[in-house]
């Protein structure tokens, strides 16, 4: 599998003295071949092709701005997935992009923090994308909240939506017990 990540994210993938790369290869049995000039990453499966696929998701997540520590759960929990929202399809100018990213992050990161807390997802705002790590239900709720912000909904309305959906998630998890 071939993945292209931004050159400025190669260091995060490799880690200090290659520690992140080595740990990922050890945990998955796959091999990472990283071209630090182009940002091309090749994942070669070991004995378990599913782990190689999960490793490619971790590489994509790190490439979308997640720290390795925040991307690692993609290896352990088979229900977790990475969803990437491409803002460049809706916004052409740098000022529009900066405004929308600012709405999603919020003052001092408050909006992103509230969204993460109430949905249980991890969010990374990087470049022209928003990366979201979570289970499918969590991602659906977070994506809707992000789309509400993109469409110009007031932050209060988005927080209200998130509170309501959080209550539903809590109720459904209690029922599952």
Rg (the chain; Cα; Å): 17
DSSP lists the bridge partners of residue 32 as 43
Summarize pLDDT for 92-110 with one digit per residue, the tens.
888 999 999 999 999 999 9
pLDDT of residue 176: 59
**Does the domain formed by 81-176 have CATH 3.30.1370.10?**
yes
Summarize pLDDT for 159-169 with one digit per residue, the tens.
999 999 999 87
The matching CATH number, chosen from 1.10.3720.10, 3.30.1370.10, 3.40.50.300, 2.160.10.10, for 2-76 is: 3.30.1370.10
Asked if 5 and 60 touch (Cβ cutoff 8 Å), the reply is: yes
Whole-structure pTM value: 0.90
Sheet holding 40-44, edge to edge: 2-4, 40-44, 31-35
pLDDT of residue 121: 97
H or E element at residue 42: strand 40-44
The two beta strands, 2-4 and 40-44, are antiparallel
């Amino acid at each position: 599998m071939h993945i292209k990540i931004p050159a400025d994210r190669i260091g995060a993938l490799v880690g200090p003295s290659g520690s992140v790369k080595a740990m990922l290869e050890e945990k998955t049995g796959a091999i990472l071949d990283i071209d630090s000039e182009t940002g091309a990453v090749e994942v070669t499966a070991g004995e378990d092709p599913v782990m190689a696929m999960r490793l490619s998701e971790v590489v994509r997540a790190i490439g979308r701005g997640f720290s390795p520590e925040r991307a690692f759960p993609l290896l352990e929990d088979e229900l977790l997935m990475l969803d990437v929202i491409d803002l460049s399809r809706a916004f052409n100018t740098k000022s529009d992009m900066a405004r929308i990213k600012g709405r999603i992050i919020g003052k001092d990161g408050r909006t992103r923090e509230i969204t993460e807390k109430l949905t249980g997802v991890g969010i990374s705002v990087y470049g022209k994308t928003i990366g979201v790590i979570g289970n499918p239900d969590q991602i659906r709720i977070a994506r809707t909240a992000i789309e509400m912000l993109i469409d110009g909904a007031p932050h209060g309305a988005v927080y209200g939506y998130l509170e309501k959906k959080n209550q539903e998630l809590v109720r459904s998890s209690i029922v599952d017990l």
